[in-house]
Amino acid sequence: MEYDFSYYLKSAAYVKERINFTPEIGIVLGTGLGELANEIEDAVVIPYPEIPNFLVSTAPSHAGKLVSGKLAGRHVVCMAGRFHYYEGYSFEQLSAPVRLFKNLGVEKVILTNAAGAVNAAYQPGDVMIISDHINLMGVSPTRGRNLSEFGNRFFDVSDLYAWKLREIAKQCAEGSGLTVHEGVYHFFTGPQFETPAEIRAVRVLGADAVGMSTVPEALTAAHCGLPVLGLSLMTNMAAGMIENRPVGGGEVEETAQRVSVLFRAYVKSILTKM
């Protein structure tokens, strides 16, 4: 299914009716950051199913909501609950959230996620500022007819994770109480975690972390000219990194919960500077 620009404008028009400011920063909250949405002041909460032409959640009990308001002194719009390829959406559909941000007037995007550490020097609980990504899955959110109102058919992704925003994130790392690295995020479609052989392979390719999100949103942002800050929370060592230790089993949620307070404070400190 291909949509035209007016399809996306309709979602934004509905949200604009509900909020009386132009959000400056769009945030997608990943595992471990969800509670950040509760800290937004003067919040306008819009459940996703209310937004016309938006994505409908595959898990109705976790419908998700768009929360707009003030956070760390900045006007933000926040996706509390994200959509993933493994849920059955196409990459093209996954462009909707960032296209909504763009049409609301957002100027910068923060994407957060939980990820598995591929770099042996990383530990669960560490944060990685995404310097770049690898996407060998043969997918792009801008496949199909190009919507030139958003951007060009062929677009540059060589500074996708904007250098300037990464510098701010690095400055804020000091005194955050977190161990913060900078590295490359490798996208896998999931929903299965990776095999140990896949992890060995992507380490050779230059990956420091693996995950199942962020790349669709980051590419959409690049297409419509929005600078991105990507932050990955290492919730576990990737498959095979620790001998005889399966991935999952609650570790992802446990680690996210453990560092959630520090991670949220870190994101807020970045917000004040960007």
Binding site for ligand HPA (CB under 6 A): 114-116, 188, 193-194, 210-212, 235-236, 238, 247, 252
C-beta closer to ligand HPA: residue 40 or 114: 114
Q: Which residue has the tokens 């990943």?
A: 30
CB of 211 to ligand HPA, least distance (A): 4
Residue 28 neighbours by CB under 8 Å, 6+ apart:
78, 79, 82, 97, 109, 110, 111, 112, 214, 217
Question: What are the tokens at 160?
Answer: 């996708």
Measured from the CB atom, is 72 or 209 closer to ligand HPA?
209
DSSP three-state, residue 268: helix
Taking the least distance from each CB to ligand HPA, the nearer of 19 and 215 is 215
Quote the CA–CA distance of 16 and 33 in Å, as a whole number.
25
Cβ 106 to ligand HPA shortest distance, Å: 26
Nearer to ligand HPA, 130 or 212 (CB): 212
Write out the two tokens for 189: 């479609």
Identify whether the C-beta of residue 82 lies closer than 8 Å to the C-beta of residue 37.
Answer: no
What CA–CA distance (Å, rounded) separates 262 from 244? 30
Q: Which is nearer to ligand HPA, 147 or 247 (CB)?
A: 247
* Residue 260: CB minimum distance to ligand HPA, A: 14
CB of 222 to ligand HPA, least distance (A): 22
Gap between the Cα atoms of 97 and 92, Å rounded: 11
Q: The tokens of 239 are what? A: 């498959």
Give min distance, CB of 51 to ligand HPA, in A.
Answer: 27
CA–CA dist 150, 148 (Å, integer): 5
Q: Which is nearer to ligand HPA, 126 or 194 (CB)?
A: 194
Alpha-carbon span 220 to 231, nearest angstrom: 17
Residue of closest CB approach to ligand HPA: 116
> What is the smallest separation between the CB atom of 152 and ligand HPA, expressed in angstroms?
31
Q: 23 has which bridge partners?
A: none
